[in-house]
């Protein structure tokens, strides 16, 4: 059995900073957070999901479980409580996270990318790429 690992994903750049701050608040804006991973099941056991937004790593959420959307996930809601126009596709793998983002106070940078990657924050933060905002 492999040890739990972290992943990193790019947060959509079109979302305004105020909304990003609400979503990534310490208290958590929602009871659960659902982050899509795509159609392929991760090959490793996942522990945390980190996010980069506008070239900066914001922080991470603890992953409670990873599930395939079989249609039983609750509908996603906006910050105002309305059902979101955006919903998770059937058969997509999803990281279900507990509220309370662990915000990263230090400035660590990573350029955006598509999808997600396995990620080791402790190793990455000491790399030259982590100190340069592209």
**pLDDT digits 0-9 by tens, 76-98:** 998 888 999 989 999 999 999 98
Would you say residue 124 has pLDDT above 50?
yes
What domain range includes position 20? 5-131
Q: How far apart are CA 86 and CA 101, in angstroms?
A: 22
Parallel, antiparallel or unpaired: strands 33-38 and 93-97: antiparallel
2 falls in which pLDDT band (50, 70, 90)? low
CATH number at residue 99: 2.30.130
CA pair distance 27, 99, nearest whole angstrom: 7
Mean pLDDT over 25-38 rounds to: 85
Dihedrals phi, psi of 123, to nearest 5 degrees: -75, -45
Among residues 5, 101, 115, 3, the alpha carbon closest in space to that of 57 is found at 101
What's the domain count of the chain? 1
């Amino acid at each position: 059995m492999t040890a739990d690992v972290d992943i990193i994903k790019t947060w959509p750049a079109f979302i305004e900073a105020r909304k990003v701050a609400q979503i990534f608040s310490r208290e958590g804006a929602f009871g659960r957070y659902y982050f899509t991973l795509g159609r392929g099941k991760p090959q490793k056991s996942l522990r945390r999901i980190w996010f980069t937004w506008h070239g900066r790593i914001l922080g991470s959420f603890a992953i409670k479980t990873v599930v395939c959307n079989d249609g039983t996930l609750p509908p996603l809601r906006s910050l105002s409580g309305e059902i979101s126009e955006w919903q998770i596709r059937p058969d997509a793998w999803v990281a279900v996270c507990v509220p309370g983002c662990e915000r990263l106070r230090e400035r660590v940078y990573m350029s955006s990318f598509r999808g997600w990657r396995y990620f080791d924050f402790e190793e990455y933060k000491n790399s030259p790429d982590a100190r340069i905002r592209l």
